[in-house]
Amino acid sequence: MSAGSRSLLDFIQTPVMVGDPDGCVVYVNPAFETDFRVPLEEVAGQPLANLFAGGGREAVLRAVVRVCGSQSTTDAERFSLLVDDRGYKVLASAVEAEGGRVGVILLLVRESAGEARVQSFGREIQTPLDELSACLASIAEHATGPDSQAQRIAIADGVRCLDRVRKWADGVAASLKKG
């Protein structure tokens, strides 16, 4: 795209990135430049994934490899991305590039702060739930003596409650992924 020409993507108020078939940046729209504080001139030619850190880099790389490697312009990938405590829902879609090769366009829709926080909570709650499950199993294993039957009943009640919490946590996570 020449410096003097304008694209329809320039007018979209949501960050957009376009990558060539090799997964390198060929375009970012003004909304991307504003949100990520980086002009196209600084990122042009770099791998799309290198614009992100940690798990975000891996998620973008995985999506770009899958979409660009598909050889079909109908493929798309959806995933979540967390950048500087801002959550994004990302749609990576195939786009026809020069010579019939497949490139990629990424649309980054900002999530509300509450939704990103809930997703983070959903990931963080799994560890204490696993620890609680292990504790209950250990207590059940050592429940002996005259009160052991009452202890086992209480432990079984605790396990049922834990299972209900897991189902709720899984339901919240599933609904956010569909989001």
pLDDT at position 23: 92
Hey, what are 99's tokens? 């010579």
Residue 86 and residue 56 in contact, taking contact as beta carbons nearer than 8 Å: no
Q: Are 165 and 129 in contact (CB under 8 A)?
A: yes
At 44-96, the pLDDT tens digits run: 999 999 999 888 899 999 999 998 887 777 778 899 888 887 889 999 999 98
Nearest to 26 by CA among 16, 14, 37: 16
**The pLDDT of residue 38:** 92
Specify whether the CB–CB gap between 64 and 111 falls below 8 A: no
| % pLDDT > 70, the chain | 91
Distance CA(144)–CA(152), nearest Å, equals 9
Alpha helices in the chain (DSSP H): 30-36, 40-43, 54-69, 113-141, 148-178
Q: Tell me the Cα Rg of the chain.
A: 23
pLDDT (tens digit, 9 = 90+) per residue, 87-131? 899 999 999 877 777 889 999 998 876 666 666 677 778 888 888
